[in-house]
Amino acid sequence: MEIKWDDRGLAPAVVINASTGEVLTLAYMNAEALEKTRATGETWFWSRSRKALWHKGATSGNTQRVASIAADCDLDALLVRVIPNGPACHLGTSSCFGAEAGGILTILDDVLESRATKLPDKSYTTTLLRDENLRIKKLGEECAELILALSKENPEGSVNEAADLIFHIGVSLRAKGLKLSDVASVLLARHYSKPSSQP
């Protein structure tokens, strides 16, 4: 697949976290950067200010392992899914676009982390975090309700019950020091365990 480079020989590359969907940064690639990215499995870009290739994380250690690369419908922009090894932004944040760039799993993980840290009174999440028996009971109940909704072929009920179950899974994981993004990483590793074609 041939990329249509602009008159400077560049194409914008939107970089997202393959596990969470969080938009990490907007960078630029030329043909050589794309070739090095494919060859090394880590992101390389063209720095418009330095007018040179740069290997993301070569200095900071915050490299990005490439999960996939796709071109848009016009073949003049790239979507690069990565597994980041540290923050993408030079300011030390995971994304150059701030908290609003996160996917729903990132947002839910952040909310659950906040609840687990602050344990606000009168919070349902706090109640669950403090009571393991209740967490297990609610997981069973939500799972049963999802199965029932699916067996009755109730589309709206099924997605609502699935959302409830995912929330309770998130709380239960957080109580054990784990995150939904950890689950997403496992799914991602399974998905990309076989080589896939890239533009």
Its pTM surpasses 0.85? no
User: For residue range 115-165, what is the model confidence (pLDDT) as tens digits?
Assistant: 999 999 999 999 999 999 999 999 999 999 999 999 999 999 999 999 999
Question: Homologous superfamily of 11-101 in CATH?
Answer: Phosphoribosyl-AMP cyclohydrolase (3.10.20.810)
Beta strand 52-55 pairing with 44-47 = antiparallel
Among candidates 157, 161, 109, which has minimal Cα distance to 139?
Answer: 161
Which pLDDT score is estimated for 197?
46
The CATH 3.10.20.810 domain(s) of the chain lie at 11-101
* Rounded Cα distance, 118 and 99, in Å: 19
- Burial of residue 190 (CB within 10 Å: 0-12, 13-18, 19+) is exposed
Is the torsion defined by CA of 72, 74, 77, 78 positive or negative? Answer: positive
Residues in the chain: 199
The CATH 1.10.287.1080 domain(s) of the chain lie at 104-191
Question: Homologous superfamily of 104-191 in CATH?
Answer: MazG-like (1.10.287.1080)
User: For residue range 131-145, what is the model confidence (pLDDT) as tens digits?
Assistant: 999 999 999 999 999
User: For residue range 78-105, what is the model confidence (pLDDT) as tens digits?
Assistant: 999 999 999 999 888 888 987 666 778 8
Cβ atoms 80, 72 nearer than 8 A:
no
pLDDT grade for 193, boundaries at 50, 70 and 90: confident
Instruction: For residue 141, list its beta bridge partners.
Output: none
User: For residue range 56-75, what is the model confidence (pLDDT) as tens digits?
Assistant: 999 999 999 999 999 999 99
